[in-house]
Structure 1
Amino acid sequence: MSDAQTTLSDADIDAETEAAQVCSDDSLLSVRNLQTRFQTAGETVQAVDGVSFDIAEGEILGIVGESGCGKSVTSLSLMDIVPEPGEVHGGTVRFDGEDILTKSPEEKRQLRGNRVSMVFQEPAKALNPVFDIGWQVGEPLRVHENLTKSASRAKAVELMRRVGIPSPEERVDDYPHEFSGGMRQRAMLAMALACTPDLLIADEPTTALDVTIEAQILDLIQELNVQTSMSVLIVTHDLGVVAEVCDRVAVMYAGRVVEYGDVEDIFANPQHPYTKGLIDCVPDPTADEQSLEAISGTVPNLADTPEGCNFAPRCPHATDECRQIDPRMRAVGDDHYSACLWEDPS
């Protein structure tokens, strides 16, 4: 084992717990040991199980993994808007040095849509069908900046133009059902950007969009990130999106982060078998013929996870030790961490 590959000791784990009380000096958002559960039909589903990560000012972090791994619940937990019967029951979410989870309902309301905004996975469900687009885009401005109806409508037109909605002066009075999927996603982005947030959380922002619109949305997010130094958290199952736009990545599996670090390093040198499996599943567009890889098995039931490593039942490198020991995060390089007992001999 190299000097970089040191396993966290009990003392280190205690220090990590203490780190939950303070935000890293260069982090806008610092999440420590986040835990979210759902109580359903007599069983407890631990959807988020001890997730930790940081996002620096101006940084884009991607959270990636299969469906059912807890990515979207993590994003909702950051803003404490997990729907019932879910609840955040542990950990800290420090934004600009203050724990969001301990704030009053009014303080959270002032934060949401103002300094922290979110683009939801399905804009057709997130947009209210009985209000026109201009009214909804202008709502954060009326709530947080006390703009009048006319002033917020004028600003809504500007925002719609900024996110690439054609003829915004004409479309501002349209209703959500009159917009295409890509246009609705742009309208959601306009709402999220209305108050110039410090952090944008984008939950599967390109789901169900064609590749052309997907590219336009991603380009827009990157452009705004550069122009305003806005930090971004992108939740996705698409490794191509992560490779294209993110600075760092957190790979989630069964409610936990199993690999975390610099995007280029993780793509070039993945250390967790799950990450390696995800990368191997991505088709090579330059190849004439190829066999598509697949990770055998499925994500475990989060109400009944296996003993030891959650990924052991699907892992080609699993040993008896893996089926007994719950692995801790360990450093495997500079700004590169993996929660796995196996070491890649290469």
Structure 2
Amino acid sequence: MASTENNESEAEADRVTHDDDALLSVRNLEARFDTEDGAVRAVDGVSLEVREGEILGIVGESGCGKSATSLSIMQLLESPGYIHDGEVRFNGTDLVTASKEELRNIRGNNISMIFQEPMSALNPVFDIGWQVGEPLRVHEDMSEAASRERAMELMKQVGIPSAEDRVDSYPHQFSGGMAQRAMIAMALACEPDLLIADEPTTSLDVTIESQTLDLIEKLNEQRDMGVLLITHNLGVVAQVCDRVAVMYAGRIVEYGDVEDIFRDPRHPYTKGLLDCVPDPRRTDVSPTSIEGEVPDLADPPDGCNFAPRCQYATEECQATDPRLQEVETDHYSACLWEDPE
């Protein structure tokens, strides 16, 4: 396996095969944040792709770089964050080098995003109908009256009751679940080819969470829309995703079909995440946690970033910086460990 002596050196890129026809293709993406302690590699050489009509999940603990990856893809990182290297190709257009005008035409039109906290993403001074209809006015030159009518249709489509009345409501008059549905309606207004959903169910109760995921899955099937779903919840991944990228310390450490990775995890971090999930079929086995914390990305450890928390780590792991390589067909892992099972 190719490696470097430490994380400060130039690491070999992940050995991931890319589909030239993929809707979204991210290659060796690196995003940094300048801090007093040095440059933090929040996204460190990430490669992934989303195909038309599929749902790709990005899963990992808080602080692993999931949201930074989504913001980097959308070119929405704010200072002191910036893209240091890599490509983000959407339908052949590299978003990293695209002009501001190109990005304005793409965002909210061809690519839409659902943010983590709907109440902070919605503008408190405009009613819901005005906000849901805004993408239509911007990208399709629709009149305010026509966009409001379409907003009501979208609100009905995402399951907001009494949409004719709620279209005039303000965000503070909506529950968390209804606000999230309004955000989804806004994101779908221009029928995007790609939807990026960043922890779309974090603030929702279990019932509304299930309804929201069912809605995203239904719209994905109906519109053949690609979805990049960011979550810390493996249950969500199992429910709706086709493939999954497991992220740790700014990198993808395992990548492949959901079924393959759940059946045969090849990275100890993935195995640890799965062991944290209670199995209702196994009353004799209790869930276990992963000891330790995500490393400081301003001063990452030598060798494998996960080695300080890994029960299988060896001296070689302390010195070797593994990158993704194919362990089975379309199944990739960044690890020296071989499961004896």
TM-score tier after normalising by the smaller chain length: over 0.9
Partner of 2:243: 248
Instruction: Report the CA distance shift for 1:42/1:284 in structure 2 as closer, same or farther (over 3 A).
Output: closer
| 3-state SS in 2 of match to 1:294 | coil
Which residue of the other structure, out of 239, 247, 257, is the alignment partner of 1:262?
257
Q: What does 1:67-216 correspond to in 2, within 5 Å?
A: 67-216=62-211
Instruction: Tell me whether 1:326 sits opposite 2:321 in the alignment.
Output: yes
Give the percent of matched residue pairs that are identical in Structure 1 and Structure 2.
Answer: 67
Per-residue CA distance 1:93-128 (angstroms, 9 max, x = gap)? 000111011110111011000000000000010000
Q: Is the 2:14–2:45 Cα contact (8 Å) retained in structure 1? A: no
Per-residue CA distance 1:196-224 (angstroms, 9 max, x = gap)? 00000000000010110000000000100
Instruction: Report the CA distance shift for 1:31/1:145 in structure 2 as closer, same or farther (over 3 A).
Output: same
Q: Is the 2:303–2:320 Cα contact (8 Å) retained in structure 1? A: yes
| 3-state SS in 1 of match to 2:316 | coil
Q: What does 1:296-335 correspond to in 2, within 5 Å?
A: 296-335=291-330
CA distance in 2, matches of 1:256, 1:14: 11
| 3-state SS in 2 of match to 1:27 | coil
Query: Deviation of residue 25 (structure 1)?
Result: 2.7
Q: Is the 2:60–2:66 Cα contact (8 Å) retained in structure 1? A: yes
Instruction: Tell me whether 1:219 sits opposite 2:211 in the alignment.
Output: no
| 3-state SS in 1 of match to 2:31 | strand
Q: Is the 2:25–2:88 Cα contact (8 Å) retained in structure 1? A: yes
Which residue of the other structure, out of 232, 238, 241, is the alignment partner of 2:227?
232
CA distance in 2, matches of 1:248, 1:96: 20
CA distance in 1, matches of 2:113, 2:123: 15
Instruction: Tell me whether 1:33 sits opposite 2:28 in the alignment.
Output: yes
User: Unaligned 5+ residue runs, structure 1?
Assistant: 1-6
Partner of 1:278: 273
CA distance in 1, matches of 2:84, 2:182: 33
- TM-score, normalising length: structure 1: 0.93
Instruction: Report the CA distance shift for 1:41/1:8 in structure 2 as closer, same or farther (over 3 A).
Output: closer
CA distance in 2, matches of 1:320, 1:15: 22
User: RCO greater where, 1 or 2, for CA within 8 Å and sep 6 or more?
Assistant: 2
Partner of 1:3: none
CA distance in 2, matches of 1:329, 1:342: 13
CA distance in 2, matches of 1:246, 1:47: 24
What's the RMSD between the two structures over aligned residues? 1.7
Partner of 1:53: 48
| 3-state SS in 1 of match to 2:62 | coil
Instruction: Report the CA distance shift for 1:14/1:90 in structure 2 as closer, same or farther (over 3 A).
Output: closer
Query: Deviation of residue 310 (structure 1)?
Result: 0.1
| 3-state SS in 1 of match to 2:96 | helix
Q: Which amino acid aligns with 2:239?
A: E
Instruction: Report the CA distance shift for 1:15/1:282 in structure 2 as closer, same or farther (over 3 A).
Output: closer
Query: Deviation of residue 285 (structure 1)?
Result: 2.9
Q: Is the 1:8–1:329 Cα contact (8 Å) retained in structure 2? A: no
Q: Which amino acid aligns with 1:151?
A: A
- TM-score, normalising length: structure 2: 0.95
Q: Is the 2:158–2:185 Cα contact (8 Å) retained in structure 1? A: yes
